[in-house]
Structure 1
Amino acid sequence: MTENMGDATQEAFDAEIVGNELDLRKADLLNDINNRQPNSAEIWYGHSILTSTLFPASPPKPGVDFVAKSNGTLEYLLEAGVDSNRQRKFPYGKYPRLLMAWMAKQIRAAGKTKTATVDPSTHTITIPSIYKLCDEMGLSQGGRTSHDVQEQLRLLLACRISVRRSTGFAGRSIDDIVYLPLVKAVRNVNDKNDAGYSGAIFELTEEVYNRLARESAPFDTRASSYLLNGRSVLPYDVYVWLTGSMKELKHDLPISWEWLHERFGDTIGTLKNFKAGFRRAVEKVRQVYPSVNVDFDKNGIVLHPSPTAISARPSKAEKWLSED
């Protein structure tokens, strides 16, 4: 028994050391964010729906046919597709978010110029290996991470996104629907011995390609690393939404708790629990985005005009899109 107690004590001691090391890394990262502007490689681009909340935080329950998110008169719908393994599952969690933001970064950095990753003339994206992708996304290259990233990439490329615009006038309503398979064509290259050496080549649909190029707002990947360092994706989603909202905000904007719950609260059942979780998420966002100016009241949150999380710099994509 004494030996077992000694083993347990050592395990607890080791766990405490690991925990302290993680806390120090988080503190160092937060200090770096607040004392240094991001370099060009650390600036990625996020869309408040396409690179965040459209993807469920956890796997939807069996029988769920689609996930929907509204943005004004637009409604985005996500449907699980049949992937190369003949599975119908939703992409979920942090990896689809990072993958979509990574694509937006590559597209905007390329502009009209063909790179090793992007061919703008065909809207083709090339991922030579999952290891390289993980490295560029700031993830470890461990076997489990590589496996999970590869699986979520496969599910992401198989899914279908639809955009519905609802308009109308007295006595009538009009629904326009654009169906957006994420890709026109995809080739998965699987390494059976090591998932990390697997890769993919895929052609994005023009609509998705252009939305990622035109409608995404810049954010700091150091902040996303800090905010995703936990079980919840909510702080990251709130961060992307807030910095994107501030891009064009000229007047105070009140947002109701009901709207916030619909947008961000898929996995949080009651409004009461959601309010507490959302407040915690905003406080965490403030640690990496101290210039954001928001207030809470009994009805929800009020956004006040604020700088974006990082100063916007015109990318190559923005320059050539403005010329078209």
Structure 2
Amino acid sequence: MELHVIERSANAFQQGLTERQILAVARRAFGPGTEVCCATELGGGMYNTTYRIDLAGREEPVVLRVAPEPGRQFHSEQELMRAEYASVPWLAPIADLMQRVLAADFTQAVIGQDWMIQPSFPAPPRRNCSAPTRRRHTGAFFRQMGEITASVHAVTGPWFGPLTGPGHARWSEAVVTSLRLIAEDVESCGLDAADLRKAADAAQSGAQVLDEVTVPRLLTGDLWTVNTMLSAAPVPTICGVLDMDRTWWGDPEADWTMRMARAKQDARTAFFDSYGRPVETEASRWRRHVYEVRHLGALRLERHRLGNAAGVDDSYRSVAGELAALI
């Protein structure tokens, strides 16, 4: 087997597999006689470790995604791969854009970690589009992103919170629980989480405003430009979405996609041409401040994991601005 890995330090969050582990996974998925010709670790992702694997006798390569060891996962990010797997039937409205699952193993009996195998996407077609072409069709891209997001948000669920549970009867309970879990994770890293705990207390005090949201809707959790694949000319079109492992049930306004669609007044405003423009109220604006603190808390954790000290420091200033609007 040829094994091509990304060199990382021993204390890096993402850690690679050995040849023996990769072979064991392949044989678990495709049978005891399976042989691996080549395994190439892919960059780009910041959570799961991903490989493109060429198997003897199989024309197309497959993609192996391996979750972090259970002990390395934050409590607010527990079992994301299992959540993604559980979300597949709920994401039926965009099934044509998603990779199929060829095999998955959550027993942790083979390598002590969850893993999933999917077909390999072709080389990203976006690389075949010139920069002027991409700029000319940016509005169309964001309108399609709005359509995709609206179709996901139209799906309603049984409770608020994670797809795999625990579920909450009220939206406020899900939000406060999430904020407190993120605060605990931040503190477990030796960082100050007093600002996140203040936000959780403010959300608890404003439970009545949060609980104006009464219908749990499916949230993409992490869908934005980096998690899309584009088909080529004449008009670059989204032909695939990736890494839907942060889906949960809640208020569409709490979705990362909505946050990013509002982040700048540029071509992305076309998102709302297809998604629709939500009615602005004082209550909805207050709720968005709560949601932004949650996003910033999650970003603080990710930046710490990546060793981005400046980004961690910046998160405190950003949360302070949101708290001023909450308290």
Query: Which of the pair is proportionally richer in strand?
Result: 1
Structure ranking higher on relative contact order (CA contacts 8 Å, 6+ apart) = 1
Smaller-chain TM-score range?
Answer: under 0.3
